[in-house]
Structure 1
């Protein structure tokens, strides 16, 4: 991996390794643990990614914020003792490519499948994620089937977005989509979404583009190969139970997650690939 002057390998005080991006286009960070992005800031603008002020970056522990990769299942598995949101966000990924171009920087990582317990994932496959940094951020998570039978999985790019005031933040573009919340529904989203309580909505038949309106400005969020997404804010009581999360931080964040969940689960035939992608930018 050849690193330019604007891309370097650095470590947290706790020893976790990350790829640091500092270019005329933007700044960013991608940790090898979990292939988890924790920073994307276009030059001259504020950050598009939120991380808890209480995050301590410990080995084997998911980072609270950024873009965790939920794979090969999202949420609680039907086997209740299996890890929530799968296994990928705790494992050490391998940096495969870092390339700088005139108008963007590409960082690509892969998950060594020897690290994945076959109890959780018995299939022959390849998993890669590509981050494309410019004035916007594009994330592409690709599953390739190397076996002789199809497999299916659920997954999500669990993006944490910042806001200075969740009660003055709205999400537009989900009108008409079907959703369930707290195992109730399905319901049809009628209006632009505002926040006044714990929110945990899993949407299907969702349009490919949403807009988050915050006091700092509007954020455009788009998805590819995804008809489902998740909208989450823990609000007051759940915030008190979350690890690496201050009691009042629900006020400064929300998650809008590109996903393949429920009837939108990804099915990958032998020799084929499926790419879940999301792009975020300030409008």
Structure 2
């Protein structure tokens, strides 16, 4: 028996609770942010810091925050990092329960403050398809007669028992920038972690894997030639909000993105869909 219900967190944020024979999930209306996803008889696929207190106006430190309509810092330093979509209340516009899983669709109506940051006539929606795989699609449509350019990311946090044993694979041949330097060429397929890692990859293949003691997490992307690989390590962890000093050891971010030369350029009335799929491979 499948059930989709709307509930409220103790701190007031509303979320959609999904309980099906194939999986369980929670998606908060603030940011249309999924912060829990667990396929049946398998471990959870998303990580959230125990230091996060689920406060209005702050993206949850974990799950999959939506970075839109820009990734990282804006050229105007007073504007919010990673855009404004992750702190706005989205509308749940449709739900569908199928034998193959559950589909939920959300849209974001821009308010007056949003249009100060983003004065373009565009439509943004996000779709979740939930079964033994998590599929997230961020859909942009240009409703204007002018060309629009944006950057974006699905900022996915993954649970890792011990970051020092993690092997991230699928990176051979790609280019990356790190801490403002590069581009560097990735000559081997594997990335291991023994220091702060903050790489923006371009020219990257569509599938990467995270090899953990619990199994292999497969992360694939569509309409994306860029991705972000991030772990703050020890010193940076002490500077982050809603993040425990030791959290770096149990998480990693691998983010489907459209950044740098992979930015989305939408012609009038054109639609672009960024999709990531996440599953346990074994």
TM range (shorter): over 0.9
Q: Give the Å deviation of 1:119.
A: 2.2
Do the aligned partners of 1:87 and 1:116 also contact (CA within 8 Å) in 2? no
Do the aligned partners of 2:2 and 2:21 also contact (CA within 8 Å) in 1? no
Compute the RMSD of aligned alpha carbons: 1.0
What does residue range 136-147 of structure 1 map to in structure 2 within 5 Å?
136-147=133-144
TM-score (norm 2): 0.98
2:140 and 2:172 mapped to 1: Cα distance? 30
Do the aligned partners of 2:158 and 2:252 also contact (CA within 8 Å) in 1? yes
In the alignment, structure 1 residue 185 sits paired with structure 2 residue 182: yes
- 1:266 aligns with one of 254, 260, 264: 264
What does residue range 128-277 of structure 1 map to in structure 2 within 5 Å?
128-191=125-188, 192-277=190-275
Say how many residue pairs are matched.
280
What does residue range 31-42 of structure 1 map to in structure 2 within 5 Å?
31-42=28-39
Structure 2 unaligned residues grouped into runs of 5+: none
Describe the SS at the equivalent of 2:10: coil
1:67 and 1:254 mapped to 2: Cα distance? 12
1:186-233 Cα distance to aligned partner (Å, 9 max, x none): 101122000000000000000000011011110111000000000000
In the alignment, structure 1 residue 125 sits paired with structure 2 residue 122: yes
1:161 and 1:260 mapped to 2: Cα distance? 20
In the alignment, structure 1 residue 69 sits paired with structure 2 residue 66: yes
TM-score (norm 1): 0.97
Structure 1 unaligned residues grouped into runs of 5+: none
Do the aligned partners of 1:91 and 1:115 also contact (CA within 8 Å) in 2? no
1:251 and 1:215 mapped to 2: Cα distance? 14
- List, as ranges, runs of 4+ consecutive aligned residues in structure 1 with deviation greater than 3 Å: none
